[in-house]
Each structure stands twice: as C-alpha cells, then as structure tokens.
Amino acid sequence: MTTLPDHTEKKLGLAIDLDTCVGCQACVISCKEWNTGHYGAPLSDTDPYGADPSGTFLNRVHSYESQPETGPAQLTHFPKSCLHCEDAPCVTVCPTGASYKRTEDGIVLVNEDDCMGCGLCAWACPYGARELDALAGVMKKCTLCVDRIYNDNIPEQDRIPSCVRTCPANARHFGDFADPNSNVSRLKAERGGIALMPEQGTKPVNTYLPPRAKSAPTGALTPVAEEPKGFLAWLDRALEAL
C-alpha cells in the first residue's frame, strides 16, 4: 500500500471543454508522440501493421450520442486521460510504491523502476485511465507532461502538456486548480465544470466543462409586401431612403 500526501501545494490538471471538442484526436496523437520519446519506457505498439494493432495511449477520445429532452440527438466527444485525483485509488492500491502523487503539484506518476506491472492500479482506477505497456511490462499513464511543464529547455509559453499545446480548437486548458484565480479555476467556476463520476469519491482534479445548452432561433421575418408589385414599390422607397 502506498500513501497519498495529505496536501499538495498545487493541484495541476486539465479543464476539458466538451462544448468545443470536435473529436479530432489531435491530443491523443500528440500525447503519444511526446511520451513515447520522453518519460519512461516508450508507448509501444504490437502488431502495428497487422490484423490486431494495439498500443499504449495515455489519452483517448470517446464519442457518445445522447438524446436531450428537446431538440435533435447530440454527439459529444469525450477525451479521457488520468484525472490526477486527490484521493487516487490507483496510488493507495500500489503494492510497491511505484504509483505516487507528488506533493508539490499533485501529479500522479508511476516510477517505472519500481513498477512490477501487476496491474492492480489499472483495476483500481474507475476511469480506465491507465494502460499496461505490452512490451515494457510497466504501467503507463498521463504525466501531465511533467517533463515539459518545468522544462528549462522549452520556451516558457510551451511549458504546458503536449495535448494542450496542440489542441486546434483550444478545448484543453492546463493550470493550477488550487489557485482560485488561475485560468482553469475561473473556467471551472464560469462554466460549471464537473467532476467525472464524483460518487467514486476520488476527487478528480481535472474538470470537464459541460456542453452549453443548444438553442435554435425562433421567429420569422415580416414581409414588406404581399404582391411582387408591392415589392418593387418597397424597393423604390428603400432606394430613395439610402
């Protein structure tokens, strides 16, 4: 069993805007390309050109169709990665201490040197946000690009997770939820950010900004005349008024 810190100085995480996400998968692939070359073991792929290609991804986008009470059916794109929970069950279940939550910023990480690939953490995570790498035999998960966000070798404005930097629709926001004035805290407050599956008691740090209510205009225009001749008379008057 591994213990969680009582308190973290920061609560770094993502605000994901479900109103704006078009489901383009940019975040999924940008995450893969950054992380396969950086923190820990590569994100491997088995049978990549064969009948059953399967690889490790730290972020995946799902799509759900729903039928609101009024109006047409809707499609919502739902990106999902580790939510860096305050009460992360994946950490407390870890038998070796490999899974841990950082006290300075709340990021949940796996120390791959100590991971034996038992998979308990993936079972414990209610979100399915961890994937055991088939080749390396270690557990992989979102690191919030911990090797980018503090990296002095990267220009300051790019010290954000790869998925956030690449998102074309600007549907992903990174920041500190412990700071009520941060960009993400403000977005969460303004847009009514929701925790995923709060009943699980995991207290996720990441928040989802729900789709705004859809609306269709109502009303109709008033004709200037009923007859085509009347339209010409209107035209003449309108031109005179210009």
Partner 1 sequence: MPDLDTSPPVSDEIRKTTCYMCACRCGIDVHLTKGQVSYIEGNRDHPVNRGVLCAKGSSGIMQHLSPARLRAPLKRTGPRGSGEFEEITWDEAYNLATKWLAPLREKAPEKLAFFTGRDQSQSFTSLWAQAFGTPNYAAHGGFCSVNMAAAGIYTMGGAFWEFGQPDWERTKLLMIFGVAEDHDSNPIKMGLGQMKARGAKVIGVNPVRSGYNAIADQWIGITPGTDGLFILSLIHELLKAGKIDLTYLARYTNAAQLVNVNDGPDYGLFLRDADGKAQILDRATGKPVPFDTPAVTPDLAGHMRRAGSTYKPAFQLLAEAYLDPKYAPEAVAERCGIDASTIRATAAELARVAFDEEITLDIPWTDWKGERHEKMTGRPVAFHAMRGISAHSNGFQTARALHILQILLGSVEVPGGFRFKPPYPKAPEKHPRPHAGVTPGAPLDGPHLGYPLAPEDLLLDANGTPKRIDKAFSWEAPLSAHGLMHMVISNAHAGDPYKIDTLFLYMANMAWNSSMNTSRVIEMLTDRDDSGDYVIPHIIYSDAYSSEMVAYADLILPDTTYLERHDCISLLDRPICEADAAADSIRWPVVEPDRDVKGFQSALCDLGARLGLPGFVNEDGSQKYADYADYMVNHERRPGIGPLAGWRGEDGESEGRGAPNPTQIEKYIENGGFWHSEIPEEARFMKPWNAAYQDWAVKIGLFDAPAPYLFNIWSEPLRRFQRAAEGFGRTQPPDHLRARLKMAMSPLPHWYEPFEETATDTAEYPLHALTQRPMHMYHSWGSQNAWLRQITNTNRLYIPAAEYAKYGFAEGDDLALVTSPHGQITARVAPMAALNPHTVWTWNAIGKKPGAWALAPDAPEAKKGFLLNHLINELLPPKGDGRRWANSDPVTGQAAWFDLRVKIEKAPKGTAQTPSWPAQASPVGRGPETLAYGQSFKSDPST
Residues 27-46 interacting with partner 1 (rule: CB under 8 A): 28-30, 32-34, 36-38, 40-46
Interface stretch with partner 1, choices 8-16, 54-62, 124-132, 176-184 (CB under 8 A): 54-62
- Integer Cα distance of 66 and 171 in angstroms: 20
Stretch that binds partner 1, among 85-93, 115-123, 156-164, 195-203 (CB under 8 A): 156-164
C-alpha distances out from residue 204 to 7, 46, 101, Å? 14, 31, 13
Measured distance CA(99)–CA(4) in Å, rounded: 10
174 scored as a contact of partner 1 (CB under 8 A): no
| Total site size for partner 1, rule CB under 8 A | 93
Closest CA to 2 of 84, 69, 97, 81: 97
The Cα-based distances of 232 to 81, 180, 223, 236 in angstroms read 62, 61, 13, 6
* Distance of alpha carbon 166 from alpha carbon 50, whole angstroms: 29
Which of 14, 15, 21, 94 touches partner 1 (CB under 8 A)? 21
33/87 with CB nearer partner 1 = 33
Residues 178-207 touching partner 1, rule: CB under 8 A, are none
State both tokens at 230.
């009347």
- Give me the 81-120 binding string for partner 1, x by CB under 8 A, dash otherwise: -------------------x-xx-----x-xxxx------
Residue 70 touches partner 1, criterion: CB under 8 A: no
Binding of partner 1 by 24 (CB under 8 A):
yes
130 vs 191, beta carbon nearer partner 1: 191
Considering the complex, state which of residue 112 and residue 126 has its C-beta at the smaller distance from partner 1: 112
SS3 of residue 14 by DSSP: strand
Instruction: Read off the amino acid at residue 228.
Output: P
